[in-house]
Amino acid sequence: MNFNFGQGDSRLDKFVNYQKKYPDTDIDNALDSLKYKKTFTNRFIYTRAKAVNSFVKSKESRDQFFSQILSAGSVALFILLPFFTLFLKLLYIRSKYTYVDHLIFVFHIQTVFFMLFSIFYILKIVGVNPELWVFIILFLVYLIIAMKRFYEQGYFKTFLKFLLVNLSYTIVASIGIVFVLLISIAMF
């Protein structure tokens, strides 16, 4: 894996280069040598430079970072479920279902998603190399069938709402992914 840190003129690049040359130097001496003030921001960026260097050098650091992202991602997914449920509530505003009914539906859908995801990884562990897109298609087909049966609307309305639900989920998930990445980088 090739990472291009330390090849520019940014503060992070300078800190990465200095930390690479003098790995045992403490933050205060490093900032003095680099002629930067000892502010919270500079200290934080220098600690990130240490993390970048350990990330580039060590497979264990990369594994730890990705494990941290996965852990934070599952928490973020749980936190984002009420927002997704709220979108469903707004999308089906004239239906007889309460917010809790929509939330139960979302939990059900997430359970099916995790079951398919688990089957995918179990097959990978066993030695079968399944295609991810097959599981994604299976989940999307299940989602549209579940929406049709649960909300009892016509095929056209269900398909339009299916598209809106997936668009909203993609937007919310993208925001969540960025948030998780930023937190993981800050905490690494």
pLDDT tens digits, residue range 1-34?
Answer: 444 444 556 777 788 788 778 877 887 888 888 8
Percent helix, strand, coil in the chain, to 5, is: 80, 0, 20
Left (φ > 0), alpha (ψ -120 to 50) or beta: where does 152 sit? left
How do residues 164-175 score in pLDDT, each as one tens digit? Answer: 998 988 888 788
188, pLDDT greater than 70: no
Closest by alpha carbon to 87, among 99, 70, 79, 74? 99
> Given this model, what pLDDT does residue 119 score?
92
Number of neighbours of residue 50 by Cβ within 10 angstroms: 17
Token look-up 């309305």 returns 157
Spans of all domains in the chain: 11-57, 61-187
Cα gap 68→10, rounded to integer Å: 27
Rounded to 5°, the CA angle 147-117-81 comes to 50
Higher pLDDT, 153 or 12: 153
Tokens of 35: 């002629």
Tokens of 95: 């239906």
Instruction: Give the per-residue pLDDT at 42.
Output: 81
Q: What is the 3 state secondary structure string of 141-182?
A: HHHHHHHHHHHCCCHHHHHHHHHHHHHHHHHHHHHHHHHHHH
- pTM (2 decimals)? 0.64
Say which amino acid occupies 52. V
